[in-house]
Amino acid sequence: MLRLGYLGRRSLYDVIRKIAFEVALFERGDITVVDGLIREKGDVTLLCGDYRCVARELFTTLPRLLGGGKLGLDLGTSKNGLAYVWNGEPVLHAVLDWPAVEEILRKTDGVEVFVGSSPYVDVKRVAAARRCSELRLVDELTASWSRRWLRNKYPQLTEDEIDALSFTYYEGIVASIC
């Protein structure tokens, strides 16, 4: 089981706790996240403190440090759910706007991206942000069977995060769209 540790201000820890599934306060872990305002070394140094920026940093840095994983994406009209899973274990979750998601997609290499597929989802936007690399399209209706189980297991997650996480548990159809 992956153990995230955090060293720094409590206010920044509260933001990280909203994004990471498990993080220990004032402890080192397999990966240690450090507040950029303190003089301490870690694997991830955060130089910002707002939700959007912290989520962007964690979603781009952790997959690089861990060497891959799965990124689930539930596209919406104004907000998008994201979930990062490594070795079958959920690590991160967030709800972000499209510019933040687009930046994460551009900066993450080596992860499999699972996108919920429905008539309302513009998969070409995701493919363009990923520089035309492969995506896995997951039928949202099929993935909805695991929502209830995930909602019971992770009651702190929003509906968008639950959907994004559920997509990572299905193989989907490999698509290369440009």
The domains of the chain are located at: 51-175
Q: What are phi and psi of 25, to 5 degrees?
A: -80, 135
**Tokens read off for 17:** 């706790």
The CATH classification number of 51-175 equals 3.30.420.140
Predicted confidence (pLDDT) at residue 178 exceeds the cutoff of 70? no
Q: Is 16 helix (H, G, I), strand (E, B) or coil?
A: helix
pTM: 0.93
Residues 133-161: pLDDT tens digits?
788 999 888 888 899 999 999 999 999 99
pLDDT band, residue 121 (cuts 50/70/90): confident
